[in-house]
Every structure is written in structure tokens, then in C-alpha cells.
Amino acid sequence: MSEREMEAKLAELDRLLNDPEVRMDPHRVWSLLQEISGASQAAGTRRAA
């Protein structure tokens, strides 16, 4: 995942969690967290190699 994609996902997650005008979608929140976590772990693996 590129840095730009990661920033977009983090911005969407922030909006879902903090914007009172946006309807909470728990499935989308968990999905975003899973994608972000997977990308972070993959990046860490590449750096360690």
C-alpha cells in the first residue's frame, strides 16, 4: 500500500470515528483497521529484510 493510500484510509477512519455527521459503520471501521494493520506489518517485514 502506498503512503497516499495509507493516508486516505487513515483519514476515512478518522472521519468515521470522530465526525458526528458521519454514520458509524463498525464493519467499515474494522475493515480499515485490518487493511492498515496488514500494510504496516508488511512494511515492517520489508524494512527488516
pLDDT tens, position by position, 1-49: 899 999 999 999 999 999 999 999 999 999 999 999 987 777 765 666 5
Provide the 10 A C-beta neighbour count for residue 10: 12
Q: What is the pLDDT of residue 19?
A: 97
DSSP assigned state of 21: T
At residue 42, the pLDDT reads 73
Q: What is the pTM of this model?
A: 0.75
